[in-house]
Amino acid sequence: MAKSVKKSPVKKPVARKAAKPAVIETHESPAVVKGAEPHAPTKANGTPLVEMKDISIAFGGIKAVDHASIDLYPGEVVGLLGHNGAGKSTLIKILSGAYKRDHGQIFVNGQEVTIANPRDAKAQGIETIYQTLALADNVDAAANLYLGRELKTPLGTLDDVAMEAETRKVMHRLNPNFRRFKEPVSKLSGGQRQSVAIARAIHFNARILIMDEPTAALGPQETAQVGELIKQLKAEGLGIFLISHDLHDVFDLSDRLVVMKNGKVVGTARTSDVTHDDVLGMIIAGKCPKGAIPGPGAMKQVA
Amino acid sequence: MSIPSASSQNPALDNEGAVKRFFRATEIDTRMLGMIAALVLIWCIFDVWSGLHLHNNLVGEWFQGVISGSDGLLGGTFLTPRNIWTLLVQTSSIAVMASGMVLLIVMRQLDLSVGSMLSLVAVASGVLQVYQLGPSLGVGHPAIWLLAIALCLVLGTGIGAVNGTLTAYAKIPAFIVTLGGLIAYKGIAFYLASGETVAPMDQRFEVFGGGVQQSWLGPFWSWMLGLLVCAGIIFAIVNGRRQRRRFNFPLRPVWAEVFLGLMGSAIVLGLTNVMNSYPWPYNLIANYAKDHNVTIPPGVENRDGNAICMAGDQIVHCTNGLIYYTGYSLPVLVALGVGIVMSFIAARTSFGRYIYATGGNPEAAELSGINTKWLTVKVFALMGLLVGISSVISSARLNAATNALGASNELYVIAATVIGGTSLAGGVGTIYGAMLGALVMQSIISGMSLLNLPAAYQDIVVGGVLVLAVWLDQIYSRRVK
């Protein structure tokens, strides 16, 4: 397969790797300070990549997300935890543009942005891997990868050959055994479909990646592969929101975690400052442990 | 590091039989092949049946007819240039609309209002031609047909856009919106002309119906067009091959490319030959000869002939006298052109890609940043535009516009689309399939008329064929999986 990156019409991840050292420094400095003083406001050091402030959304009478605030720094993985229906997927869908918030602000690199639909989110470099994968099952991998941002020939028609060539390259990186480029994705295995969804999210120079249960449909080996990929992307300076039910995954991969309950943030903690039991207590009872910064959803404790 | 060829990628492929390898190499859609086979079978059955009918069910006489070659290909009246030519003209209106219905159904929408819409648009353009522009500009003014056609296209597109807007933005199910349209547009069509038949159409407008000599391309230009299309097929094959080579993709074997090129060209040239074998009606030849001072050769009267001769000062029918052939007629060319353009839109533009993706998974399309609401409006508007084109063909062919012109057309269009392999579940369907479906349906209707069977039988059989086609298709899909 061709190694040249020059001709490729979209920027390749290689470009991102060049900027790696600088990004990692910005990531390290706030982390050190936060570790020393967990209750200090995180904003003191550097601008967060994303900051969602005071977000609310209601469906009918139900407040799915209730004044929630979260943030994410470059090169950081933030795990988002909570029961089914805690509001984590909804919160993240507001960031990816799938839902329109009723209240609150979103900042990207300190600038307030309008995210009214998925196109706005993508324009900000926010890419999402949905729990349902959100693939169009009746078209092939290349068509899914480029859905909504097709490569065109000079005449304005679809450049299917170029799209297939790029897809072959990116899939080769993620899943070297993948060969079924001509078949509709409905014919692929769960892992292969997941690879297509991941390829679509990382192929367009995402700065912020949202992964909603990325390993739910995968076997142990493929799960490990996704873990490796997250570490690699993190090293490249992306910010990643990771939603998962699997506490082990979250503890392995994330730097910080945010727990939600009934649409509210229970608390935020550095992964190294809390134990599994602490986190379970946050998820189940809304009890905020010592190492965490309590949010509006934390159980009111007697001081 | 070139990618290994397709056959060595998967060892299982090396064990497959010659037939399977043939289909894999040529990438021929076996489902389409099945439909063509069904079409050929229907044609043969009707030709034999009508042949037997012609010879009072005497097999011996029918067989004599087949051998002497005096009748249709199999001794009947179905596989004759005249019938094939007429069949294609009759199919064109439904085929044009079916090409749009495919995209709607692929997108999980439906338009039940196309028949009423066709009536409304045709009557509106008829009223414009006959009651408005005729008196004001003078009958036969060259602007009339242009304005009339413009009205058809604009009005069709506009009504389609209304259907689409109500479906996408007001979130009323398309079934309801267009069911309402079916009833309402028919009412408007009745109101516009007070239920009267509006006739005759403008002379230039009539050309789009295929019933007058100006709408026939003639043998020379038909051959030229056929050769041009053959050149297009070869160019497409060569270009595709060059593109794939540029990226080091697996190529089709050369024999498969040659086969596809020859097959495509043979079909095009064969069809052209059939079109060029259908002669003008006798009286038109006689009138043309008189108007253009063409000498009619002398001959003896022969009722079976296609040409005209002079016997003394009498014009008579003979076999080898003066003869003109029609070639392709305009409505068929319009339908073929629409088919090519629509196939191009479906396969080669992002608009088409979005339609298929939305049909496959509407939520995924929305999350990919596709504006699915606006897309829905555009597809409905495109459907309306095609209804506008069909209304020109239909009213020009009838040389009149009535509020009953498009009656039950919506059912035929949807049936053609479904017979053509479009899945009502969305995401799957082809333009050529739907157009072939229209041809299958029209063949049955036309064949049964040739056999003099009562009109009621036609609907019974067409309905049965629709259900049978979907059943066979499901069996096919299950076995392929």
Weakest mean pLDDT among B93-97, B455-459, B476-480: B476-480
| Contact criterion met (CB < 8 Å) for B350 and A164 | no
Residue B352: pLDDT over 90: yes
- Nearest 10 degrees: Cα torsion B410, B406, B280, B432: -20
Residue A18: pLDDT over 90: no
- At A45 the pLDDT is 57
Six-digit token string for B32: 């389409």
**Same-domain status, B158 and B291:** no
At position A268, the amino acid (one-letter code) is T
Residue B402: pLDDT over 80: yes
CATH classification of the domain holding B452:
1.10.3470
Q: Does A180 contact B at CB distance below 8 Å?
A: no
- At A17 the pLDDT is 38
Condensed to tens digits (0 to 9), the pLDDT of residues A103-125 reads: 899 999 888 999 988 988 988 89
Per the structure, the complete domain to which residue B336 belongs is given by 80-214+329-480
* Stronger pLDDT, B75 or B394, i.e. the higher one: B394
Q: Does A4 contact B at CB distance below 8 Å?
A: no
Weakest mean pLDDT among A287-296, B3-12, B96-105, B290-299: B3-12
Place of tokens 């209002």: B113
**Contact at 8 Å (CB) between A235 and A75?**
yes
Taking the CA of residue A294 and the nearest CA in chain B, the distance in Å comes to 33
Q: Is residue B70 part of a domain?
A: no
* Residue A132: pLDDT band with limits 50, 70, 90: confident
DSSP letter for each residue of B201-270: PPHHHHGGGT-SGGGB-HHHHHHHHHHHHHHHHHHHHHHHHHHHHHTTPPPPPHHHHHHHHHHHHHHHHH
Mean pLDDT of A285-299: 80
Mean pLDDT of B226-254: 88
Six-digit token string for A73: 């720094």
Mean pLDDT of B76-85: 89
| Residues of chain B with C-beta less than 8 angstroms from the C-beta of A139 | 353, 356-357, 360
Sheet holding A77-82, edge to edge: A126-129, A208-212, A239-243, A77-82, A256-261, A264-270, A292-294
What is the dihedral sign for C-alpha B60, B66, B67, B68?
Answer: positive
User: Within B59-192, where are the H helices?
Assistant: 59-68, 81-106, 114-127, 134-137, 142-168, 174-192
| Contact criterion met (CB < 8 Å) for A118 and B366 | yes
Query: In this complex, which of B10, B349, B353 lies closest to A143 when CB atoms are compared?
Result: B353
**Contact at 8 Å (CB) between B316 and B367?**
no
**Same-domain status, B92 and B164:** yes
Query: In this complex, which of B243, B347, B361 lies closest to A134 when CB atoms are compared?
Result: B361
Chain mean pLDDT for chain B: 88
- Region class of A228: left (phi > 0), else alpha (psi between -120 and 50), else beta: alpha
Condensed to tens digits (0 to 9), the pLDDT of residues B301-346 reads: 776 667 888 888 888 888 778 889 999 999 999 999 999 999 999 9
Six-digit token string for B413: 């269009």
Residue A30: pLDDT over 50: no
| Residues of chain B with C-beta less than 8 angstroms from the C-beta of A168 | 3
Top residue of A129, A161, A163 to mutate, by most chain B CBs within 10 Å, is A161
Size of interface A-B (CB pairs under 8 A): 93
| Contact criterion met (CB < 8 Å) for A137 and B361 | yes
Residues belonging to chain B with any Cβ–Cβ distance to chain A shorter than 8 Å? 1, 3, 9-10, 243-244, 246-249, 347-350, 353-354, 356-361, 363-371, 427-428
Q: Does A134 contact B at CB distance below 8 Å?
A: yes
**Same-domain status, B466 and B355:** yes
**Contact at 8 Å (CB) between B192 and B122?**
no
Q: Does A168 contact B at CB distance below 8 Å?
A: yes
Condensed to tens digits (0 to 9), the pLDDT of residues B429-450 reads: 999 999 999 999 999 999 999 8
Weakest mean pLDDT among A211-215, B26-30, B184-188: B26-30
**Same-domain status, B207 and B340:** yes
Residue A32: pLDDT over 80: no
| Contact criterion met (CB < 8 Å) for B243 and A161 | yes
Q: Which of A61-65, B65-69, B92-96 has the largest mean confidence? A: B92-96
Bridging pattern class, strands A256-261 and A77-82: parallel
CA angle B149, B157, B356 (to 5 degrees): 130
**Same-domain status, B208 and B335:** yes
**Same-domain status, B385 and B472:** yes
Question: Count of domains in chain B?
Answer: 3
Provide long-range contacts, Cβ within 8 A and 24+ apart, for A97-100. Answer: A97/A121, A97/A122, A97/A126, A98/A128, A98/B366, A98/B367, A99/A57, A100/A57
Taking the CA of residue A66 and the nearest CA in chain B, the distance in Å comes to 23
**Same-domain status, B205 and B344:** yes
Q: Is residue B473 part of a domain?
A: yes
Condensed to tens digits (0 to 9), the pLDDT of residues B336-348 reads: 999 999 999 999 9
| Residues of chain A with C-beta less than 8 angstroms from the C-beta of B361 | 134-138
Condensed to tens digits (0 to 9), the pLDDT of residues A211-245 reads: 988 877 777 887 888 888 888 888 888 899 999 88
Q: Is residue B417 part of a domain?
A: yes
Query: In this complex, which of A118, A156, A168 lies closest to B367 when CB atoms are compared?
Result: A118
| Contact criterion met (CB < 8 Å) for A134 and B427 | no
Condensed to tens digits (0 to 9), the pLDDT of residues A174-188 reads: 777 888 888 899 888
Q: Is the peptide bond before B200 cis (omega within 30 degrees of 0)?
A: yes
Q: Which CATH class is domain A13-36+47-60+72-254?
A: alpha beta
Residue B385: pLDDT over 60: yes
* Residue A79: pLDDT band with limits 50, 70, 90: very high
Distance in angstroms (rounded) separating the CA atoms of residues B462 and B418: 12
Helices and strands (H and E) in chain A: how many: 10, 11
Q: How far is CA B265 from CA A184, B46, B247, B261, B271, in A?
A: 30, 26, 28, 6, 10
Chain A residue with Cα closest to B242:
A161
- At B145 the pLDDT is 92
pTM of the model: 0.86
**Same-domain status, B304 and B369:** no
Q: Is residue B207 part of a domain?
A: yes
Q: Does A21 contact B at CB distance below 8 Å?
A: no
**Same-domain status, B101 and B243:** no
- At A5 the pLDDT is 40
| Contact criterion met (CB < 8 Å) for A168 and B3 | yes
Chain A residue with Cα closest to B364:
A134
| Residues of chain B with C-beta less than 8 angstroms from the C-beta of A1 | 1, 3, 248
| Contact criterion met (CB < 8 Å) for A118 and B249 | no
**Same-domain status, B302 and B288:** yes
| Contact criterion met (CB < 8 Å) for A135 and B247 | no
Top residue of A127, A147, A155 to mutate, by most chain B CBs within 10 Å, is A147
Chain A residue with Cα closest to B8:
A179
**Contact at 8 Å (CB) between A129 and A154?**
no
